[in-house]
Amino acid sequence: MELTLELKRLQGDFERQVEALSGQVAAECYQCGNCTAGCPTAYEMEIKPNRVIRYLQLGHGSRLLKVNAPWICASCETCYTRCPKGVSVAAVMDALRQIARMRGVKPPNRDLLTFERRFLGTVRMHSRLFEAQLAATYNLTSGHFFNSMTKLPGLLFKGKLKLFPQRGTKKGREAVKGIYERVLGMESNKTERGV
Ligand code: SF4
Ligand code: SF4
């Protein structure tokens, strides 16, 4: 008996929302695994990048809101670069985080949310990342006070960690400020529309 699986029929509203937000078509993926093989953070993800797409193909996308994987994704786009079908798992992960935020769903590991907030906070303040502030505020607010502290002397000695922020130009700061304002506006519009 021949079994024909029509992926589109398996997908529901959630999967369609992810596709609309990300601009990606899950059915394009043929599960070669290249994205997972190149992903620098896949080892920490309980559902690997190619499996994330598989969940969407099979209509189990809403389960992805209950795992840490979308929040672990670093948006480096290695997956997209390596994908022979041009599928951006990065964009899908981004869409999943957007939906989670719109629905008020938090990742199982709350430290991921703390890290994201502190990361965006430093970028907003200085218009670029200030690692020392990120590490200090993350350690304080997550309660992991001595997290990675043993690495601090080496990083300072090698000049990898600056003690003072390197602020961007006035033009750059204005541009970053504008991005934050646009994103906040888009998020509130989507929430109002229930997207
Ligand atoms: S690299 Fe592309 S085609 Fe291959 S599993 Fe990942 S998303 Fe699918
Ligand atoms: S964008 Fe995310 S999923 Fe893709 S390779 Fe980078 S960390 Fe992995």
Alpha helices by DSSP H, listed for the chain, are: 7-10, 13-22, 34-38, 49-57, 69-72, 78-82, 89-103, 110-126, 131-142, 152-157, 170-193
Residues 79 and 124 in one domain: no
Residues 62 and 115 in one domain: no
Q: Does residue 165 lie in a domain region?
A: yes
Q: Does residue 168 lie in a domain region?
A: yes
Residues 83 and 125 in one domain: no
Q: Does residue 3 lie in a domain region?
A: no
Of the candidates 30, 94, 90, which has an alpha carbon nearest to the alpha carbon of residue 57? Answer: 30
Q: Does residue 2 lie in a domain region?
A: no
CATH number of domain containing 84 = 1.10.1060.10
Q: Which of 29, 57, 79 for a ligand 1 pocket mutation test, highest count of atoms within 8 Å of Cβ?
A: 29
Q: Does residue 83 lie in a domain region?
A: yes
Q: What is the pLDDT of residues 63-96, one digit of tens each?
A: 999 999 999 999 999 999 999 999 999 999 999 9
Cβ atoms of 73 and 93 within 8 Å: the answer is yes
Of the candidates 75, 78, 125, 79, which has an alpha carbon nearest to the alpha carbon of residue 97? Answer: 75
Cβ atoms of 34 and 84 within 8 Å: the answer is yes
Q: Which of 39, 72, 103 represents a domain boundary (last residue)? A: 103
Q: What is the per-residue pLDDT for 156?
A: 87
Q: Which of 74, 103, 132 represents a domain boundary (last residue)? A: 103
Q: What is the per-residue pLDDT for 4?
A: 61
Q: What is the per-residue pLDDT for 98?
A: 92
Residues lower than pLDDT 50 in the chain: 195
DSSP one-letter code for 27: G
Residues 91 and 132 in one domain: no
Structural domains in the chain (count): 2
Residues 149 and 187 in one domain: yes
Q: What is the per-residue pLDDT for 7?
A: 66
Q: What is the per-residue pLDDT for 185?
A: 82
Ligand 2 geometric centre to CA of 13 (Å):
24
Residues 182 and 164 in one domain: yes
Ligand 2 geometric centre to CA of 4 (Å):
31
Cβ atoms of 84 and 12 within 8 Å: the answer is no
Residues 91 and 158 in one domain: no
Residues 80 and 121 in one domain: no
Q: Which of 52, 53, 79 for a ligand 1 pocket mutation test, highest count of atoms within 8 Å of Cβ?
A: 53
Q: What is the per-residue pLDDT for 191?
A: 57
Tokens of 122: 């430093």
Q: How far apart are CA 94 and CA 26, in angstroms?
A: 14
Residues 68 and 133 in one domain: no
Ligand 2 geometric centre to CA of 72 (Å):
9
Q: How far apart are CA 65 and CA 165, in angstroms?
A: 35
Q: Does residue 58 lie in a domain region?
A: yes
DSSP one-letter code for 26: G
Residues 167 and 186 in one domain: yes
Residues 48 and 128 in one domain: no
Domain span holding position 141? 110-193
Residues 140 and 78 in one domain: no
